[in-house]
Chains A and B, each alone.
Chain A
Amino acid sequence: MNKLFRLLIRDLKSSVGLSPYLLISQLIMPLVYIFILGLAFTNVIGEITIGGVAISYVQYLAVGVVFGQLMLSASYAGAMVFFDKRMGMLEQILAGPFKRYEYFSSKMLSVILQGLFGSFLVVLIASPLLIGLRPTPTSALYVLFSLIFASLFFGSLSLFISAYVKTDQTLNIIFNSILPPLTFISSIFYPLEAMPDPLKAIALANPLTYAADIARFGLFRMNSMTFPYAFFLLPLLSTILFILAMHATYRISL
């Protein structure tokens, strides 16, 4: 069996073991967001109209929540590097028949797979709201494009942080300081068009905005104000973070 594949299996098994409750939260939190927050606010907000396309708020939100969940799943997956460091597994693996690039590659693959899995769970939950939607191969490609690059971005971000952090507390503080603002200052819950200008400026630097907007374009042909830059900026930011994460992984001292 290929070394990369063996590392990947180990990483996935280890991640599931580390956070079995994460799977449950991956089901509960989207349920709360979509079926409580979403349906309640649909009565207040009604429809979201962007570029002449109108969809219900709960549909708008459902797509956003998929990416919110993806961000969490990919971030937790990236944080496995921290746990490997702390639990001595990194040293153990690197003293074995593996090179650093193989270890890093397996992490990135794991991040993408876990990100996709997290978002797939939310799609399943939100599926009643998407009934009637007829996704074409092109729309599926848009969604896949945004999911993969968003996983890559958040997985790389988390991996980069994990490579430098030395304690659980620091990791928790950083995650809790970064992830909620990234969620709320993005187009996950509401469109940029409705945001105050200072928040809009921040949201425009947030890859979560681009990822959610690309997916909404794929599914509903909703043309956000981030277009066409989103198609360029999401891969660009993801690639930059990927390189930084790779560099950080290579610099981890044993």
Chain B
Amino acid sequence: MASLGYAITVKNLTKKYGDEVAVDNISFDVKRGEIFGFIGPNGAGKTTTIRILTTLIPPLSGEAEVLGYNIREDADEIRCRIGYVQQQLSFEYYMTVKDNLDSYGLLWGVTNQQRKQRLKFLVDIFGLTDILNKKALELSLGQRKRLQVAREFMHDMELLFLDEPAVGLDPIVKRALLDFIREKVKKDGITVFFTTHIMSEAEYLCDRIAIIDKGKILACGATDELKKKFDAETVLELVIQEKDENIAKLLESVPNVNNAMLSTDGKSIRISVKDPYSQTPKILNALLNEGYHVAELHVKEPTLEDVFIRAVKRGIKK
């Protein structure tokens, strides 16, 4: 497999647990220096893929290279060049935050001086200053996750695997984490393989995305490419003064309007349209002609979540 310029190349990778197929013949590449999102619902095969690529478990079949090394033959070469933040909480429960960071740096052979410098830097970035001398078991879930992610940056790496790193973090810390990762990629040129089931995180952070469900990759590309590929539609949300269940039927009769859905209180309606600029006047006219009064109109651009839902639905139909 050619891996020039690629941090990860995966070809026809399959993994089974008993009869259950966890990863089903997947293939993809991750370029060096990019942030690659691997998104999918829980149980889609994201963590299994990461475990194979970090050489923790062997695949049933298929090939993969990480940083130019074969996962079967060069596991040691791979593991000393990667970072890994696992989905499960992981740290020394009975050590303080400071000892956790220092001890992890020591494990990786980071010098005493570097450990001190990095510890100081990371404590500041991840907001751990006030809890530095607290034992990990005394921390809240969010604090533990922050510690776990911060710890991984105690050592140098070429490729970082992040398995749902933002779960349990509050929005401010989450944003700080994503920005830090982006900065790290820009500054140090590392590659990031990022899994999440929260689409907004992936859309904010990732250069390219692969959507995985039931062990299969349904789509792969940049967010905009995926939106085009899956005909993700803009959603118009209209707040109507009159409460009437027939509005949905009326709107669906307008050409190129799909999926008009009335809210439970009957006052707003969501419509999916491919071309909002040409469709909106037609929709408003149709409503006015029938005597309805539109109080508000909101335009919602398609999100990665819309793409994801479409991709999964198509996957199910296939």
Report which of A6, A89, A96 forms a contact with B92, defined as CB distance below 8 A. A89
A137 CB contacts on chain B under 8 angstroms: none
Known: A1-B109, A10-B107, A13-B99. A91 touches B88 (CB 8 A): yes
How many residues in A have their beta carbons less than 8 Å from beta carbons of B?
24
From residue B173, how far is it (CB to closest CB) to chain A in Å? Answer: 20
Q: Are A97 and B94 in contact (CB under 8 A)?
A: no
From residue B111, how far is it (CB to closest CB) to chain A in Å? Answer: 9
B residues adjacent to A (C-beta < 8 A): 51, 54-57, 76, 79-80, 82, 84, 86, 88-95, 99, 103, 106-109, 135
Q: Are B107 and A18 in contact (CB under 8 A)?
A: no
Which chain A residue lies CB-closest to B84? A95
Smallest CB-CB A-B distances: 10 pairs: A88-B90, A17-B94, A97-B80, A95-B84, A18-B94, A88-B88, A95-B54, A17-B95, A92-B90, A254-B56
Sample (10) of A-B pairs whose CB atoms are under 8 Å apart:
A13-B92, A13-B103, A14-B95, A87-B89, A91-B88, A94-B56, A97-B79, A97-B108, A97-B109, A254-B56
From residue A89, how far is it (CB to closest CB) to chain B in Å? Answer: 6
Which chain A residue lies CB-closest to B95? A17
How long is the Cα–Cα vector from A95 to B91 in the complex, in angstroms? 14
B89 CB contacts on chain A under 8 angstroms: 87-88
From residue A152, how far is it (CB to closest CB) to chain B in Å? Answer: 25
Q: How many A-B residue pairs have CB under 8 A?
A: 72
Bits for A80-103, please: 1 = Cβ < 8 Å to B, else 0: 000100011101111111110000
Which chain A residue lies CB-closest to B99? A13
How long is the Cα–Cα vector from A7 to B82 in the complex, in angstroms? 18
How long is the Cα–Cα vector from A95 to B84 in the complex, in angstroms? 7
How long is the Cα–Cα vector from A92 to B56 in the complex, in angstroms? 10
How long is the Cα–Cα vector from A13 to B109 in the complex, in angstroms? 16
Q: Are A89 and B90 in contact (CB under 8 A)?
A: yes
Q: Are B108 and A9 in contact (CB under 8 A)?
A: no
How long is the Cα–Cα vector from A136 to B136 in the complex, in angstroms? 47
Which chain A residue lies CB-closest to B51? A254
A17 CB contacts on chain B under 8 angstroms: 92, 94-95, 99, 135
Bits for A135-168, please: 1 = Cβ < 8 Å to B, else 0: 0000000000000000000000000000000000
A residues adjacent to B (C-beta < 8 A): 1, 3, 6-7, 9-10, 13-14, 17-18, 83, 87-89, 91-99, 254
Known: A10-B103, A17-B95. A97 touches B54 (CB 8 A): no
Q: Are B76 and A99 in contact (CB under 8 A)?
A: yes
Which chain A residue lies CB-closest to B92? A14
Instruction: Please name 14 further chain A to chain B contacts, defined as beta carbons within 8 Å, in addition to the given A17-B99, A95-B86, sorted by A numbering.
Output: A1-B109, A3-B109, A9-B106, A17-B92, A17-B95, A18-B93, A88-B88, A88-B90, A92-B90, A95-B79, A96-B80, A97-B108, A97-B109, A254-B57
From residue A19, how far is it (CB to closest CB) to chain B in Å? Answer: 8
From residue A223, how far is it (CB to closest CB) to chain B in Å? Answer: 45
B76 CB contacts on chain A under 8 angstroms: 97, 99
How long is the Cα–Cα vector from A184 to B35 in the complex, in angstroms? 60
B135 CB contacts on chain A under 8 angstroms: 17
A6 CB contacts on chain B under 8 angstroms: 106-107, 109
From residue A13, how far is it (CB to closest CB) to chain B in Å? Answer: 6
Q: Are A10 and B106 in contact (CB under 8 A)?
A: yes
Known: A7-B107, A96-B108. A91 touches B93 (CB 8 A): no
From residue B158, how far is it (CB to closest CB) to chain A in Å? Answer: 13
Known: A14-B92, A87-B93, A97-B80. A92 touches B99 (CB 8 A): no
Which chain B residue lies CB-closest to A14? B92
How long is the Cα–Cα vector from A88 to B87 in the complex, in angstroms? 10
Q: Are A89 and B109 in contact (CB under 8 A)?
A: no
B92 CB contacts on chain A under 8 angstroms: 13-14, 17, 87, 89
How long is the Cα–Cα vector from A250 to B194 in the complex, in angstroms? 29
Q: Are A14 and B88 in contact (CB under 8 A)?
A: no
Q: Are A89 and B103 in contact (CB under 8 A)?
A: no
Q: Are A13 and B57 in contact (CB under 8 A)?
A: no
B103 CB contacts on chain A under 8 angstroms: 9-10, 13-14
From residue B231, how far is it (CB to closest CB) to chain A in Å? Answer: 39
Known: A14-B95, A87-B90, A87-B91. A95 touches B56 (CB 8 A): yes
Most buried by A among B54, B107, B109: B107
How long is the Cα–Cα vector from A89 to B103 in the complex, in angstroms? 12
How long is the Cα–Cα vector from A97 to B80 in the complex, in angstroms? 4
B57 CB contacts on chain A under 8 angstroms: 254
A7 CB contacts on chain B under 8 angstroms: 107
